[in-house]
A and B are shown apart, each in its own frame.
Chain A
């Protein structure tokens, strides 16, 4: 789910609530989004922000196509603790995320990932 383009500073200040607001703003429908993408910014300087929800023991969406430098926020909306860990060499991990906690990955390359606490949960990020 592509959310919108936003500066890093705004992300830090606004946190996850801002992300959720933006998500609703980008939802389908005839109305204008509550937070509009900054279309005047140079695309090369502004990473896109995506959200992956962890719920019902799944990553949603389980596959995401992004560009290098984009950011992916993983939000644990499940009833148990999860993590997000690179699958092949464990090059990165979120560490455990309790219910309601989130973690942001800056994407540098395509990766398969999983929850190391529940190895049946898998996802993929593809850099286009």
Chain B
């Protein structure tokens, strides 16, 4: 799988990819309840905010900084809407094996990013954003949307996909300009 070959150190991406993207594993993918799906969605968005926070402190590249600011703003907006929805539905996001594994393995990615500086950091951050968004899009489309039971939760997840795809395209634009 390309993601693993390209960025073996980026554990959070690997977790998402392993859980949702590869076909053999997809057949055994966990069954998630709506509260668990809400938890995974919030966690996945929060992780990207965390990566953006690191970039905002370490990068000096104007494009990278602007991209990171957009990631932080957009993913927070998505979290706010998810939180508003679960409150409206009277649902409490439920921690689960997927969200726990995501959070735990994201620590490895953050450690890897923090160890880099300058252009190497910028490249690692943007490469991670490309891979992470690919994995999240696959997860949302192939698992979270099909498994969500509540129509409003399903609709929110569907509404998020265009933003995720625009983020991916934006990250790929920046990636192409990096040598």
Q: Residues on A close to B: CB < 8 A? A: 56-58, 78-81, 99, 117-121
- With both beta carbons as reference points, the residue of chain B lying nearest to A56 in the complex is identified as B162
Does the CB pair B160–A79 fall under 8 Å?
Answer: yes
Does the CB pair A81–B73 fall under 8 Å?
Answer: yes
In the complex, B159 has a CB within 8 A of chain A: yes
- With both beta carbons as reference points, the residue of chain A lying nearest to B166 in the complex is identified as A57
Does the CB pair B170–A57 fall under 8 Å?
Answer: no
Does the CB pair A57–B163 fall under 8 Å?
Answer: yes
In the complex, B141 has a CB within 8 A of chain A: no
Does the CB pair B169–A79 fall under 8 Å?
Answer: no
Residues on B with beta carbons closer than 8 Å to the beta carbon of A120: 166, 169-170, 173
Q: How far is the CA of A120 from the CA of B162 in the complex (A)?
A: 11
Does the CB pair B70–A118 fall under 8 Å?
Answer: yes
Residue among A58, A78, A119 with max Cβ neighbours from chain B (10 Å): A119
Q: How many residues of B contact A (CB 8 A)?
A: 17
Q: How far is the CA of A57 from the CA of B159 in the complex (A)?
A: 10
Does the CB pair A79–B70 fall under 8 Å?
Answer: no
| Chain B nearest CB, measured from A48 CB (Å) | 30
| Chain B nearest CB, measured from A24 CB (Å) | 23
Chosen A-B contacts, 7 in total, with CB atoms closer than 8 Å, are A81-B73, A81-B77, A99-B77, A117-B66, A118-B70, A119-B173, A120-B170
In the complex, B17 has a CB within 8 A of chain A: no
Q: How far is the CA of A100 from the CA of B167 in the complex (A)?
A: 21
In the complex, B165 has a CB within 8 A of chain A: yes
Q: How far is the CA of A5 from the CA of B21 in the complex (A)?
A: 52
Residues on B with beta carbons closer than 8 Å to the beta carbon of A58: 162
Residue among B73, B163, B166, B173 with max Cβ neighbours from chain A (10 Å): B166
Does the CB pair B170–A80 fall under 8 Å?
Answer: no
- With both beta carbons as reference points, the residue of chain A lying nearest to B73 in the complex is identified as A81
| Chain A nearest CB, measured from B156 CB (Å) | 8
In the complex, B81 has a CB within 8 A of chain A: yes
Does the CB pair A79–B73 fall under 8 Å?
Answer: no
Does the CB pair B162–A57 fall under 8 Å?
Answer: yes
Residue among A57, A78, A121 with max Cβ neighbours from chain B (10 Å): A57
Residues on A with beta carbons closer than 8 Å to the beta carbon of B74: 80-81
